[in-house]
């Protein structure tokens, strides 16, 4: 079925630099100053949205896509402002690109993963595990071999739905096969791979708030998970959600208090504070040193020193 990509006229957004007096980068370890300037400022790129999520940078087009879940839209942001990239979006959440440049969409409302190619052709990818529909796929990433990893908490599922799978899983979808990675997390959410693709990170949003890590073999088999960082010890609004790594393997993760920055060993180096609680993040820009942040009703950015991974 072909679903056209729908665009509207540009809505120009004034770029707002937050007050110079505000300290947006909290330093807990001097190592973080090598990754981000402590005086770096948060920039507000867009506002008055419903609930923003799932940002992804398009390198070829030099633009950012992100979801507005309740509005049932995917937006496209450039320096000129916003336009609607796709609507309806089946209440899309996580977005990513595969090796061929297709947009991969985690659909809350559709309870599946879907694909949209460069011409706008829409195709469902996977919506069942062992014959039972997923809850509401949340976040999604693709590795260099084309394997798709995704999480499936119940956030977007109709509470009256009776066709439930019975747990909230972390999955891998490759060559037409769905593999269950984990079913013991209460609310699996954001996920990311290390630059060498030998470690999978998964955020668990609640009970308890934590970030997990899973070893990945050269052949792509995912092993048993272990704790990367216990976020329940942190204070502040927000839960573990979106995760990204930079080219060195340092982890940027939304969580209590803002965007948390971790070393590869799980040491909490610093936190970037935003006016709204961040939900998800993406690296982008021509040098991949811009960190884009979807936070409730707004879209924000801040500059970093080490390039990020898509």
Which pLDDT band, with edges at 50, 70 and 90, does 14 fall under? very low
Strand pairing report for 25-27 and 268-272 = antiparallel
Task: Please name every residue paired with 105 in a beta bridge, in sequence order, or none if there are none.
Answer: 95, 114
Tell me if 90 is assigned to some domain. yes
Model confidence pLDDT, tens digit, residues 27-47: 999 999 999 999 999 999 999
DSSP 79-118: TTEEEEEES--SSEEEEEE-TTSPEEEEETTTTEEEEE-T
Is the pLDDT at 110 greater than 70? The verdict is: yes
Q: Angle at CA 136, nearest 5°, toward 135 and 141? A: 120
Which pLDDT band, with edges at 50, 70 and 90, does 17 fall under? low
- Closest to 227 (Cα-Cα) out of 258, 203, 247, 263: 203
Q: What is the pLDDT of residue 210?
A: 98
Which pTM value belongs to this model?
0.93
Q: What is the pLDDT of residue 7?
A: 35
Q: What is the pLDDT of residue 310?
A: 86
Exposure class string for 110-121: b at 16+ Cβ within 10 A, else e:
bbbbbbbeeeee
Q: What is the pLDDT of residue 160?
A: 82
Q: How high is the mean pLDDT of the chain?
A: 93
Domain that holds residue 243: 16-303
Model confidence pLDDT, tens digit, residues 57-72: 999 999 999 999 999 9
Tell me if 1 is assigned to some domain. no
Is the pLDDT at 20 greater than 70? The verdict is: no
Please compute the mean of the pLDDT values over residues 101-108 and round it to a whole number: 97
Q: What is the pLDDT of residue 10?
A: 31
Which pLDDT band, with edges at 50, 70 and 90, does 75 fall under? very high
Token pair listed for 66: 């992100």
Is the pLDDT at 4 greater than 90? The verdict is: no
Task: Please name every residue paired with 178 in a beta bridge, in sequence order, or none if there are none.
Answer: 173
Model confidence pLDDT, tens digit, residues 185-223: 999 999 999 999 999 999 999 999 999 999 999 999 999
Enclosing H/E stretch for 169: strand 169-174
Is the pLDDT at 117 greater than 80? The verdict is: yes
DSSP 49-77: -S-EEEEEEETTTTEEEEEETTTTEEEEE
Tell me if 11 is assigned to some domain. no
Tell me if 5 is assigned to some domain. no
CA 20 to chain centre: 28
Block residue for tokens 């004034």: 14
Enclosing H/E stretch for 11: none
Tell me if 210 is assigned to some domain. yes
Is the pLDDT at 11 greater than 50? The verdict is: no
Model confidence pLDDT, tens digit, residues 146-165: 999 999 999 989 888 888 89
Q: What is the pLDDT of residue 19?
A: 57
Q: Express the helix, strand and coil content of the chain in percent, nearest 5 each.
A: 5, 45, 50
Token pair listed for 181: 């990675």
CA 242 to chain centre: 4
CA 108 to chain centre: 14
Looking at the chain, the whole-number percentage of residues with pLDDT higher than 90 is: 89
Enclosing H/E stretch for 272: strand 268-272
Tell me how many domains the chain contains.
1
Q: What is the pLDDT of residue 185?
A: 98
Comparing 8 with 54, which gets the higher pLDDT?
54
Please compute the mean of the pLDDT values over residues 255-261 and round it to a whole number: 98
Phi, psi of 272 (to 5 degrees): -100, 125
Please compute the mean of the pLDDT values over residues 244-268 and round it to a whole number: 98
Tell me if 310 is assigned to some domain. no
Model confidence pLDDT, tens digit, residues 228-237: 999 999 999 9
CATH of the domain at 237: 2.120.10.30
Which pLDDT band, with edges at 50, 70 and 90, does 12 fall under? very low
Q: How far apart are alpha carbons 246 and 187 in whole angstroms?
A: 25
Kindly report the number of other CB atoms within 10 A of residue 287's CB atom.
11
Tell me if 8 is assigned to some domain. no
Tell me if 267 is assigned to some domain. yes
Q: How far apart are the first and last CA of the chain?
A: 28
């Amino acid at each position: 079925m072909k679903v056209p990509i729908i665009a509207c006229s540009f809505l120009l957004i004034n770029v707002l630099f937050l007050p110079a007096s505000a300290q947006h980068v909290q330093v807990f370890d001097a190592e973080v100053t090598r990754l981000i300037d402590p005086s770096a400022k948060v920039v507000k790129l867009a506002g008055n949205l419903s609930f923003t999520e799932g940002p992804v940078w398009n390198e070829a087009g030099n633009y950012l896509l992100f979801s507005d879940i309740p509005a049932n839209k995917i937006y496209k942001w450039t320096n000129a402002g916003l336009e609607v990239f796709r609507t309806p979006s089946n209440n899309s959440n996580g977005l990513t690109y595969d090796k061929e440049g297709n947009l991969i969409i985690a659909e809350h409302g559709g309870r599946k993963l879907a694909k949209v190619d460069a011409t706008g052709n829409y195709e469902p990818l996977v919506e069942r595990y062992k014959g039972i529909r997923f809850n509401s796929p949340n976040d999604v990433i693709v590795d260099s071999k084309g394997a798709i990893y995704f999480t499936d908490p119940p956030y977007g599922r109709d509470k009256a739905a009776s066709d439930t799978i019975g747990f909230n899983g972390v999955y891998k979808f490759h060559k037409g096969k769905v593999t269950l990675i984990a079913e013991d997390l209460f609310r699996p959410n954001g996920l990311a791979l290390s630059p060498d693709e030998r470690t999978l990170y998964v955020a668990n949003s609640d009970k308890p708030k934590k970030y997990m890590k899973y070893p990945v073999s050269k052949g792509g088999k995912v092993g048993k998970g272990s704790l990367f960082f216990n976020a329940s010890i942190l204070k502040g609004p927000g839960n573990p959600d979106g995760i990204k790594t930079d080219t060195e393997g340092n982890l940027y993760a939304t969580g209590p208090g803002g965007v948390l920055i971790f070393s590869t060993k799980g040491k909490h180096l610093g936190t970037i504070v935003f006016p709204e609680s961040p939900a998800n993040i993406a690296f982008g820009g021509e040098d991949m040193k811009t960190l884009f942040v979807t936070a409730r009703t707004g879209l924000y950015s801040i500059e970093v020193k080490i390039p990020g991974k898509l």
